[in-house]
Amino acid sequence: MSIRIPIIFISFVFLLLCQLAMSCTIFIASSGKHVLVGNNEDYKPGTETFLWFRPGGEGRIGYVFWGFEEKYPEGGLNEKGLFFDAAALSKPIPIVKHSGRIDFEGYLVEPLFKQCAQLDEAVHVIEKYNLLWQERAQIFLADRTGDYAIVHANYIIRKKDQKDFVLTNYNLSGPQSSDTVCWRRRTAQGMLSSGKKPSVKLVSSILCATAQADWGNATLYSHEIDLTDGRVTLYQIRNFDQPFTFRLSDELTKGSRNIEMKTLFPPTASALVAEMGMDAAIQQIRSTKKVNPIELLGMGYSLLNQKHPDDAIRIFNLACDIFPSSKTYSDLANANGFIGNLPVANAMYAKAFQADPDNYCANLMHSAGGTVHFKMKAFPNAEKVGIAGEFNKYMPEALLLKKDGDSWVGDINLPKGRYYYKVFVDGTWNTNPLNVMAGKPGEWWDSLLIVN
């Protein structure tokens, strides 16, 4: 017997998992009275994200799913406290079918959430099927008792003796290898093991520390969820100072609804410009200051990449006016350096240094004597970080950085010019999270270094 799902769905899942080769951080922590979970969802920046509320009734349990398209949710929570989130694997695990099980070629989470209140019930249902499409994903399941499991087509792993646990994108069932080396997992696990009592503050701190800021694959939204009382706190685009909180039971009483996540927060700068035009949007942002600073600066860099430098400069000037800091000064300096306006760029770098002598981008782009100095306060708990670019033929270990306190440091001598590069972290390629200057010299995004 085989339950058939259209082949287009299987193709979509394969494509989705390939694009999400390195994404997501999922963890659980129990304080005794409360069971907390956190998750970062990473994907292509600019992708629209949604919440789908589906009330129960007639023997069905109500739930909310979230993600990019309802048929393929990235995660969810039901009103009984059952939670799930998916983590892609960097390499597929060939499926081994279990004899006596029904072949299932679809996503099992919706029927699970409609009928299962606890993890044991969900596992009992899962064990009836061969999950034929799930060779490149592990599903994290947990309930309000603190019980959790990691589910792949080939296995179900339970760790009842371990209250706190972190899952990223490594093969949990495989041998210890480079696949298990993940700075996000070690960072989250270290913070959970620090002796601090699990709390909302700790969960949001872990989410912030493990969020990704890559041009091709960044954290679009994050959740902090109390499974004990069904309270959900949502963050968008790595802005952990602007939460939106709801209780699932209250939302389900409002009926079946589809909600774009961005409507729960102040409008983004990009949305305001699309609706009102650049002049009116800038005026409104300047007067209200209700905008996500991360998105605002990202918009400025996008305008640079789209060859709209004048508009980009206006956005960076706006950011300096309403969010004055060493960071916004160096962003404005970067933009002026990008268009060749070196006197303004140098003046803004000087202003950035005055506010913070350790400003990363100011030191990187304003290097003296042809020596480029990388000092990255990023990728905590990584084992190996290297700089690979046009200047060393993208060889991952040609410029390995050294750990100095909480930073990775290294120097390279380069003549004046523009160079594309990537950061190679524990076997994975990333754009530099501290340098938002970027471009696409080929198929993928690279960071951009300008040596003046």
pLDDT given for residue 174 in this prediction: 65
* 213 in Cβ contact with 433 (< 8 Å): yes
Both 91 and 171 in one domain: the answer is yes
Which domain does 380 fall in, by range? 269-451
| Start-to-end CA span in the chain (Å) | 67
pLDDT given for residue 180 in this prediction: 59
pLDDT given for residue 9 in this prediction: 30
Which of 264, 285, 319 marks a domain boundary? 264
Both 378 and 291 in one domain: the answer is yes
Both 247 and 289 in one domain: the answer is no
Both 425 and 308 in one domain: the answer is yes
Which residue, 444, 430, 355, is CA-closest to 333? 355
Which of 264, 291, 307 marks a domain boundary? 264
Ranges of residues in the chain with a pLDDT under 70 are: 1-23, 174-180, 368-369
Both 240 and 303 in one domain: the answer is no
Domain count, the chain: 2
**The Cα angle at residue 33 between residues 28 and 35, in degrees rounded to 5:** 20
* 450 in Cβ contact with 412 (< 8 Å): no
Tokens standing for 286?
């300047």
Both 345 and 406 in one domain: the answer is yes
Both 230 and 89 in one domain: the answer is yes
Tokens standing for 4?
């058939």
Report the distance separating Cα 54 and Cα 113, nearest Å.
10
Both 218 and 308 in one domain: the answer is no
Which of 237, 264, 291 marks a domain boundary? 264
Both 49 and 161 in one domain: the answer is yes
Report the distance separating Cα 95 and Cα 132, nearest Å.
7
**Residue 351 sits in a domain of what CATH number?**
2.60.40.10
Both 303 and 405 in one domain: the answer is yes
* 419 in Cβ contact with 449 (< 8 Å): yes
Report the predicted TM-score, pTM, of the whole model to 2 decimal places.
0.85
* 268 in Cβ contact with 238 (< 8 Å): no
Both 126 and 50 in one domain: the answer is yes
Tokens standing for 405?
């306190």
pLDDT given for residue 119 in this prediction: 96
What one-character-per-residue DSSP string does 384-412 give?
-EEEEEGGGTT-TTTTB-EEETTEEEEEE
